[in-house]
Structure 1
Amino acid sequence: MPLPSHDEVVAFVAANRFPFPGQTTWPANYTTLTNAPQKTRAVPGPSGDYYPDIVVIDSDGRTREIGDVEEVLDPAKAPLWKAASQAGDPLPEYETRIFFLYVPEGKEDEAKSLLDANGIPYAGVRGYRRDDSGKISIVPFVTRGNPYDHQ
Structure 2
Amino acid sequence: MPIPSHDEVVAFVAANRFPFPGQTTWPANYTTLTNAPEKKRAVPGPSGDYYPDIVVIDSDGKTREIGDVEEALDPAKVPLWKAASEAGDPLPEYETRIFFLYVPEGQEEAAKNLLDANKISYAGVRGYRSDGSGHISIVPFVTRGNPYDHQ
Same fold by TM-score greater than 0.5:
yes
TM-score interval (norm. to shorter): over 0.9
Q: Which amino acid aligns with 1:8?
A: E
Q: Say whether residues 1:13 and 2:13 are aligned partners.
A: yes
Look up the match of 2:127. Answer: 127
TM-score normalised over the length of structure 1: 0.99
Query: Is the Cα–Cα contact under 8 Å of residues 2 and 132 in structure 2 kept in the other structure?
Result: no
Which segments of 5 or more consecutive residues in structure 1 lack a partner in the other structure? none
Query: Is the Cα–Cα contact under 8 Å of residues 19 and 26 in structure 2 kept in the other structure?
Result: yes
Q: Residue 133 of structure 1: CA displacement?
A: 2.2
SS in 1 for 2:44: strand
Q: Which amino acid aligns with 1:128?
A: Y
Which segments of 5 or more consecutive residues in structure 2 lack a partner in the other structure? none
Percent identity over the alignment? 89
Q: Say whether residues 1:82 and 2:96 are aligned partners.
A: no
Distance 1:2 1:132 in 2: 7
Q: Which amino acid aligns with 1:3?
A: I
Q: Say whether residues 1:141 and 2:147 are aligned partners.
A: no
Q: Residue 134 of structure 1: CA displacement?
A: 1.5
TM-score normalised over the length of structure 2: 0.99
- Runs of 4+ deviating beyond 3 Å: none
Look up the match of 1:103. Answer: 103
Q: Which amino acid aligns with 1:65?
A: E
* Cα RMSD, aligned residues only: 0.4
Q: Residue 132 of structure 1: CA displacement?
A: 1.9
Look up the match of 2:23. Answer: 23
